Structure 1
Amino acid sequence: MASLPGFANPNEAVEIDTPEEKPKKKTSKKSGGFQSMGLSFNVIKGVTKRGYQQPTPIQRKTIPLVLEGRDVVAMARTGSGKTACFLIPMFEKLKMRSAKAGARALILSPTRELALQTLKFIKELGRFMGLKSAVILGGDSMDDQFSAIHGNPDIIVATPGRFLHVCIEMELKLTSLEYVVFDEADRLFEMGLGEQLSEIVNRLPDSRQTVLFSATLPKVLVEFAKAGLNDPVLLRLDVESKIPEELQLWYVTVRPEERVAALLVLLKDYIDSQQQTIIFAATRHHVEYLHMVLDRVGISNTYIYSNLDPSARKINAAKFSTGKVKVLVVTDVAARGIDIPQLDNVINYNFPAKSKLFVHRVGRCARAGRSGTAFSLVSPDEHAHLLDLHLFLGRPLAIVTKNGEGSVGKIPQGLLEEQHEALLTLHENYVDLVSMKKVTENAYKQYIRSRPAASSDSNRRVKEMPFDKCGTHPIFKERDDYVEEERENLLDQMKSYRPQGTIFEICGKNKSQEYLAMKQKRSFHKEKISSFHETQERKEAEMEALNKSESNLAISTNDDIDDAFEKVILPKKRKLEHLYKKNKKQKLRDDNFIPYLPADRHTEEGLAVNNFQNEATKVQLDLTLDSEDAMRKNAQTKKWDRKKKKMVAVQDQRTGKIRTESGVWIPATYKSNRYAQWKEKSKITNESDDENENTTQSRLQTQPNTHWAKHNKKLKLKQRKSELKTTDQILKARKIADKKKNKQKKKGKKSRRNK
């Protein structure tokens, strides 16, 4: 049989050369993964189904500590996976559902969006655990929250104000809680929820485990950790690199009247329409105005701000997160903790006054290893805040010159004028846009009054920075169709033109007194004028030299270095401050010098929640009440007393009260009758109350003997009384009715006599 090419003859035996068996190397298992943390099967299954492969650095350090039972204060930059750090150990500790024990885990979040996002993570990561979770948010129905707590959930995700309100109404016992999480703790204190947090901590059992996560570590948070946590461990990871390397920062200088046009240029001409973008504005009026403009222009968008209805906020956030809408316009309510996995761009329509707020805004994108871009529109009144930001980040600020590159540049005038003309036609056709624009202008004036001022160093340095000579931004230089070099050069020459002589020298006669006086003055200050021009030219040359790349040679990689060198010695401390140390001789000279300002003052000022200097400047003692506002406030705090015949001071209505997320002030100790009404309406039996009768009696005995405690006892006694009246009560009621009839008869007789 003829052999076919490519096939062996089946009748012939084929000898196979077996290679020599090599000794197998021992395969080392990868350590540092979720499998090596000793987690149970259902937890690992949920983690892998969610798509997590390797833990992030903060997860690798935090999860083992929390599993040991330690109280942890963890710090890491936004987008580093902090949510999974406290959810994975929580699932491992709770294990299975317990219907009788009550809530065993509590997670407190600053905003409703972050709380809903955490609830979504719980359902995704813990899908195989069988645990029941409930969410308690301000603005939602309290009846639904009462029924959710009656269902004995294992995990409660809540905002502090509403959770405390529910605790007061239901007289909720938190003795079953084993695991408590404060998510974005610095934001909780910034929102003024410190009283609520301390009240909740007082109600928690001492045997609990507390985990606190924050992007920054202000002094208020340290004091809270001392009081509320038991021997906590502090984890500071990725603190020095405040912004991820994958995030590109671009700054665009604009005039205030061209800010909307610049936003449209970015959205239409530069950013891809398929990418998701968040726009941060200063006030809710700006959000509404931008929403209206983008709708008229044809860009699909939605919006979120704090005063928006909770259901509308939920719907709008869902539209954006699911990808139905590509642009979201928000205030700073969405600057913390919101995780949108596919977010590509962040635009700061109004530049933030605080550096820490900028970090949280731009931290919404470039999360978990993804790349992203942050655009910031900067007007002249915000240049000092931009310098403050770069002092806080520890980065140099590169302004784009004619021949160089940088991160601060401007939009070509042709693109701006095109969008500006389109906006003018829109305002001519739609009256509501004109009225809304006036509202935003007034709102911006109020915003500037409350905006924190930039540091004195930045205000001084901003005068030396050549923002007026800023060139076209590199991102627009790639678009050759729109770059008009000749037009831009002509405009730059017109802006920088300065005549050689003054008005007296140009228009006056050669022998006039003004002309001779100016000539004499010019000759007297000739050296100073020439030195000034020399310094200006030197600064421009330095700026161009800084912006130019030092070398065109290719940078060596780590593999090239390893191939060339067998041994590489690295410094023990890899910090930037050690790389730029001054020489030892200079250190010896400054041996006895004590600086009045610390070296890291810009970073500390940026991280501060309450700056003492700013707070102290606001405090004043008015003795004469010479201002109109002070007199009006003083009049409002007094009322007329009929008995004393004079104006008396009124006690502050907020004393003894606590503010909820919705802005309502509720009493700290008094509870209304809403829970009892809900129980009657929903026909809930008191079986659970009978089971816990002994515990409630012991709690009532230890209740403080206050006015409101006695008041609550009286209300309970009234509710227990039967509706059937005794004979004495019936006789008493009849006597009162007879007296009323007699009084009415006497009044009728008097009226007849008068007639």
Structure 2
Amino acid sequence: MGRKEIVDEGLPGFEAPIQGERSEKDVTLQKKQKKGSGGFQSMGLSFHVLKGITKRGYKQPTPIQRKTIPLALENKDVVAMARTGSGKTACFVLPILEKLVAPVNKPLQGKNLRALILSPTRELALQTLRFVRELGKFTGLSSAAILGGESIEQQFGVMSGSTPDIVVATPGRFLHICIEMSLKLDNIKVVVFDEADRLFELGFGEQLREIVARLPSNRQTLLFSATLPKMLVEFARAGLSEPVLIRLDVDWKLPSTLWLGWIYVRAELKTAALLLLLDKVLTKDSQALVFAATKHHVEYLHLILQQAGISSTYAYSGLDPAARKIALGKFTNKKCSVLLVTDVAARGLDLPSLDTVINYNFPAKPKLFVHRVGRSARAGRSGRAFSLVSAEDVAHLLDLQLFLGAQLVMPSEVSECGDACPSGVWGAVPTHALELRHQDVVAWEKNYSEIEDAARVCGRGWQQYVRWREPASAEANRRAKLTAPPAAPHPCLLERAQLQAAELVEQIKSFRPKGTILELANKNDSPMYLAMKAKRRVHGKMVQKTRDNKLQQAEGILEESSKSNSTEEFSVAKSSKKKKKAAQRDENYIPHFASDQHTETGMAVNFSAGASSAELELRGDDAAGLRSRRAQLRWDRKRKKMVHVDPDGGRKMMRTESGGRVSASFRSGRYAEWRKRNAAPDDDDERPSADKPQKLSEFRPRWVKHNERVNKKKAEASSKEFRNKQQIVKERLRRDKIKQKLKHKMSKKKKK
């Protein structure tokens, strides 16, 4: 009977145990036999978890899930890295559900919180919570989100009494709740750091260390990220014990189904180029995600797209949390075609219907580019990523090519056009179409004051952004000066006839006459013509050699070398005709740089080093200021140098959500006030005893509840503890009104 019900539920490969037929040894033997199938059924998951997987539509686990889930089920600490969109969320959600469902891990009374998932952003936390509820639909486990920007009193109600089994939280607000409520985390079995490198990059190190200090030592810790460095110094602080490191798809940083296109355009024409791209990629049901540098760019582009008749919405970190949730909901439900965002949406968001990503402003870090374009081409689907590159972004583009291990393809090397254009081509925008669109943008900025003001603010915001963004490497800046930008249009933006016309125009542009203007415009017997002829006879070969060297240097064939006489010459690194033989490395030779140097540089996570490089140290202007500065230093015998005196005086400090530093044991008293208002019981009060009166049943008549509310209002009105300013003023006005009525009655009696 039981087997028939499960077959009807549609769980392939899973058979329900029939009571009285098989022993526990038979069940374990069957699991071992199924282990080679490679599906979720071979992982030993329980029926309720498998039912949630099937209802979600998953059939086969991804490579990272196949590697990670068995280790997590064995209660091992795991540090996992896989490229974005490979299914990392299920790697920690499924083990958590399986572990909490087990009868061994039954919750104690008043201590339901048994799993904690920490996310860097509220959007990623909400998405993870939705994923937990979908997969754990049939397990009976409760879950909740503790996020910054939400009502803290509502979160007091969630965490008091019967707390949820699984909590998905941002570090700042969760630590605030722990301190205010004196929350005990002794019963937590699993803690997960989702997008772990981003948590440390955003400066959540202090909050994470404080949360980890409150967790039990026998917990299981899981770290997941799309990019993870080999040096796990920052992550070791999270308290891992003998972790297992899993690195998959390290060489393939981007999905093979992702198409890349680099569009070269002048900075002032980027808006017009964006409109042209949206006109091409937006079809009936398609959607696009556009990344901009600042919130000012997002608001400006939203106004431009409104005038262009393209439905769009936007989200950035400074926006109200409810507005961000509404914007993502509109885009997910296909109520609009374009979502304009900053880098707040570059991590972890799963947008199923997204097929195109456009970088309006080029990212400064290669790792950030990987996360941006990773919103498309997820879970085996295909996708496209366009990047608008201006002259000041060429150096960052060259750094990115080193990180990806790819090369730029020029339009002249490609014969296909349109949708058949290969990935990685670097081309320009067709000039005639770009000029027409730019005229529209200029007219909108001139005729609409709102767009004009937004453009002005956008320009100022860009100046500040350029000042603080991470610069490209020195080598990339040197190569960028020698790299000639493409003049030919990108083949993806052209049809076959347009491509032939563009090739003809490119040939005309690149045509170089043999003679100079002095030779072409004059007669054969003129003095200027004769002088140029004589000059060409003497120095013609040297001029031609210099031109060839510059061209080869721009293509990377030549390298620049300096000699002792301080004169710079160009030495041929490899001949353009003869191919250089591949160097055979000696097994005893140790190179100066690692083979994956560029990869590790791009993936590096070191918040403290980045913060110290951006630190501005101010010196005193006079002798008194210098003396006070020296007084803050003391000699450290072990380090043999002067070190700063601890400004906290040895106290344990933490950083609040607003950025200020307070004592780690600081409480504002908001939870105590909330308990008084809501009469929330303590954990000890929840236990039934003979002396304490039992709670009334919830099913009471309506008039009983009405009388309780009236009595509660009377008690609050009589107690000065619960009065605020409005209640006091209202009470005074009521008393004055009564006094005036009494005076009026007394005056009437006297007249009679």
The TM-score range, normalised by the shorter chain, is 0.7 to 0.9
Report the alpha carbon displacement of residue 100 of structure 1 after superposing the two structures with TM: 3.4
2:460 paired residue among 436, 442, 457 = 442
Gapped regions of structure 2 (runs ≥ 5)? 1-32, 417-423, 558-579, 633-644, 690-718, 722-752
Residue number in structure 2 paired with 1:80? 86
CA contact (8 A) 1:399 1:470 kept: no
Match of 1:107 in 2: 117
Q: Deviations over 1:664-691 (max 9, x none)?
A: 6554321111000000111223463586
Q: Would you say 1:475 and 2:492 are equivalent positions?
A: yes
Query: In 2, are the aligned partners of 1:278 and 1:346 still within 8 Å (CA)?
Result: yes
Tell me which moved more, 598-607 or 499-508: 499-508
Q: Distance in 2 between matches of 1:63 and 1:358?
A: 28
Q: Distance in 1 between matches of 2:609 and 2:117?
A: 34
Q: Within 5 A, what are the aligned runs for 1:6-25?
A: none
CA contact (8 A) 2:445 2:455 kept: no
Unaligned runs of 5+ residues in structure 1 are 1-26, 544-579, 638-648, 694-721, 725-755
- Give the structure 2 partner of residue 728 of structure 1: none
1:510 to 1:194, Cα distance in 2 relative to 1, 3 A? farther
**Structure 1 residues 180 and 227, CA gap change in structure 2 (3 angstroms):** closer
Q: CA deviation at 1:599?
A: 2.9
Q: Could you tell me how far apart the structure 2 residues matched to 1:210 and 1:623 are?
A: 44
Kindly state the Cα deviation for residue 461 of structure 1 after the two structures are TM-superposed. Answer: 2.2
In the other structure, the counterpart of 2:47 is 41
- Match of residue 606, structure 2, among 600, 610, 620: 610
Quick check: 265-274 or 174-183, which moved more?
265-274
Deviations 1:535-583 (A, max 9, x none): 467789999xxxxxxxxxxxxxxxxxxxxxxxxxxxxxxxxxxxx9945
| Structure 2 residue aligned with 1:658 | 654
Which residue of the partner structure matches residue 335 of structure 1?
Answer: 346
User: Are 1:218 and 2:229 an aligned pair?
Assistant: yes
Distance 2:524 2:111 in 1: 100
- Shift, 1:399, TM fit: 1.8
Rounded Cα–Cα distance in structure 1 between residues aligned with 2:43 and 2:368: 35
SS in 1 for 2:168: strand
Opposite residue 32 of structure 1, the aligned amino acid is G
User: Helix, strand or coil for the counterpart of 1:462?
Assistant: helix
Say if 1:396 and 1:200 are closer, same or farther in 2 by CA, change over 3 A: same
**SS of the residue aligned with 1:688?**
coil
Aligned-pair CA distance for 1:650: 14
Q: Deviations along 1:42-101, whole A, 9 cap, x unmatched? A: 000000000000000011111111111111111111100000110111111111784633
**2:542 — aligned with what?**
528
CA distance in structure 2 between the aligned counterparts of 1:681 and 1:620, rounded to whole angstroms: 47
Q: 2:304 aligns with which of 281, 284, 293?
A: 293
Partner of 2:133: 123
Closer, same or farther: CA 251–686 of 1 in aligned 2, 3 Å: same
Q: Give the Å deviation of 1:290.
A: 0.5
How many angstroms apart in 2 are the aligned matches of 1:204 and 1:459?
A: 47
One-letter identity of the residue aligned with 2:543? I
5 Å matches for 1:185-224?
A: 185-218=196-229, 221-224=232-235
Secondary structure (helix, strand or coil) at the match of 2:260 reads strand
Whether the 8 Å contact between 2:128 and 2:168 is mirrored in structure 1 is yes
419 and 186 in structure 1: CA distance in 2 versus 1, 3 angstrom threshold: same
2:277 is the counterpart of 1:259: no
Measure the CA separation in 2 of the matches of 1:255 and 1:653. Answer: 54
Cα distance in 1 for residues equivalent to 2:617 and 2:661:
27
Deviation at 1:339, TM superposition (A): 0.7
Give per-residue Cα distances to partners, 1:310-332, cap 9 Å, x unaligned. Answer: 11111111111121122100000
C-alpha contact (below 8 Å) 2:289/2:341 kept by paired residues: yes
**Structure 1 residues 295 and 723, CA gap change in structure 2 (3 angstroms):** closer
Read off the aligned partner of 2:472 and give its amino acid letter: A
Does structure 2 retain, via aligned residues, the 8 Å contact 1:605–1:611? no
Superimposed CA distance per residue, residues 86-120 of structure 1 (whole angstroms, 9 cap, x where no aligned partner): 01111111117846332000000000000000110
- Are 2:469 and 1:451 equivalent residues in the alignment? yes
Q: Deviations over 1:305-363 (max 9, x none)?
A: 00001111111111111211221000000000011112111000001010000000000
Secondary structure in 1 aligned to 2:210?
helix
Change (3 A) 1:538 1:50: same
Check the 8 A contact 1:139/1:662 in 2, yes or no: no
Query: Please, what TM-score do these two structures have when normalized by structure 2?
Result: 0.73
**Corresponding residue SS for 1:73:** strand
Matches within 5 A, 1:354-365: 354-365=365-376
| 1:130 aligned counterpart, secondary structure | coil
User: What TM-score, normalized to structure 1?
Assistant: 0.73
CA contact (8 A) 1:277 1:343 kept: yes
Q: Determine if the alignment matches structure 1 residue 283 to structure 2 residue 294.
A: yes
Paired residues of 1:34 and 1:54 also in contact (CA < 8 A)? yes
Q: 1:680 to 1:417 in 2, by over 3 A?
A: same
- Within the alignment, does 1:685 sit opposite 2:681 as a pair? yes
Q: Check whether the contact 1:119–1:157 (CA below 8 A) recurs between aligned residues.
A: yes
Change (3 A) 1:277 1:433: same
**RMSD over equivalenced CA pairs, Å:** 3.8
Give distance in 2, aligned partners of 1:654 and 1:460. 48
Aligned pair count reads 608
Counterpart of 1:311 (choices 316, 322, 342) is 322
User: 1:138–1:159: 8 Å Cα contact kept in structure 2?
Assistant: yes
- The answer as to whether partners of 1:273 and 1:326 remain within 8 angstroms in 2 is no
After superposition, residues 722-737 of structure 1 pair within 5 angstroms as none
